[in-house]
Structure 1
Amino acid sequence: MNPASSLRLFVFFIVTLGSAGFALAEQADRIAAGARLAHDVGKGNCLACHAMPTDANAVTSANIGPPLVTIGARFPDREQLRRQVSDAGLVNPDSVMPPFGKHRILTTEEIDLIIDYLYTL
């Protein structure tokens, strides 16, 4: 490999590595924002009904809804989880979960942030 090719390869590697680091930092920020919304009694307020046993900051004794663990296994399709959070009554007409999207309690972006967080539990 000639020096010019080596330099191009090195620059490509550094740029790619920097982009990946930025994407990871952005995802971490989204997860943190989702956690804040999920814990916020004025917004998501997930802790009012759900336990989150894998999150040490989510202290609650709630057991109205199922514990929010292994979300990826329970909802492998992100859109299915989005529908559940947006309006659980569409899936289960007897659900007591507020229709966060339908009633505009949460914006679509806020729901997506909470979903990013829930997939870490």
Structure 2
Amino acid sequence: MVRYHHLGNLWLTLATIGSLGFADPAAAQDAGRGLELMRASEKGNCSICHLVPGIGLPDEAQGNIGPSLEGVGARLTPAELRAQIVDARAMNPETIMPPYGSIKGLADVDKRYRGRPILTAGEVADIVAYLSSLR
């Protein structure tokens, strides 16, 4: 019963993401801008938790809480990357990764992000473009 519940939530979440424009393949995608967003401390700041190739920091200055993103473009499809960035809780309810494209179920949110996600649909698309290039 729990499995069906989680699968239902996953499909509902993916359908919702699609309806918000996060899954729109026609969205402008700029891998260079995605890399800049991943480096930006007020936006993605991905290297605080992940090892991110090409981010311009030595490996030892990057995080190891989350998995290395080396080769992630060969392991995950753009849709899977997008879903992880928007709200990783859909795939793993126990994740500590922040939902960068969702505000659902959040508490104690920084004033700058109350009522809006950290990343826009276009910013998510740009980050997905960069991560998809990591093969």
- TM-score normalised by the chain length of structure 1: 0.70
**Aligned match of 2:126:** 113
Per the TM alignment, residue 113 of structure 1 is displaced from its structure 2 partner at its CA by 0.3
Tell me the secondary structure at the aligned position of residue 87 of structure 1.
Answer: helix
**Aligned match of 1:46:** 46
**Aligned match of 1:16:** none
Per the TM alignment, residue 33 of structure 1 is displaced from its structure 2 partner at its CA by 0.6
| Pairing 1:1-121 to 2, within 5 Å after superposition | 30-52=30-52, 54-55=53-54, 57-59=56-58, 60-75=61-76, 77-103=77-103, 104-121=117-134
Contact 2:35–2:55 under 8 Å retained in 1: no
CA deviations over 1:21-47 (Å, ceiling 9, x no partner): xxxxx97xx111111000000001101
Report the Cα distance in structure 1 between the residues aligned to 2:64 and 2:128, rounded to whole angstroms. 20
Report the Cα distance in structure 2 between the residues aligned to 1:94 and 1:41, rounded to whole angstroms. 24
Per the TM alignment, residue 118 of structure 1 is displaced from its structure 2 partner at its CA by 1.0
Per the TM alignment, residue 61 of structure 1 is displaced from its structure 2 partner at its CA by 3.0
Check 1:56–1:84 CA distance in 2 against 1; reply closer, same or farther (3 A cut).
closer
Check 1:58–1:112 CA distance in 2 against 1; reply closer, same or farther (3 A cut).
farther
Check 1:92–1:36 CA distance in 2 against 1; reply closer, same or farther (3 A cut).
same
Contact 2:39–2:55 under 8 Å retained in 1: no
CA deviations over 1:43-76 (Å, ceiling 9, x no partner): 0110110012x3161343310000111112210x
Tell me the percent identity. 39
The one of the two structures with greater contact order (alpha-carbon pairs below 8 A, sep at least 6) is: 2
Report the Cα distance in structure 2 between the residues aligned to 1:68 and 1:80, rounded to whole angstroms. 13
Q: Which runs of 5+ in 2 are unaligned?
A: 1-27, 104-116
Report the Cα distance in structure 2 between the residues aligned to 1:81 and 1:61, rounded to whole angstroms. 20
- TM-score normalised by the chain length of structure 2: 0.63
Q: Which runs of 4+ in 1 moved over 3 A?
A: none
Larger radius of gyration: 1
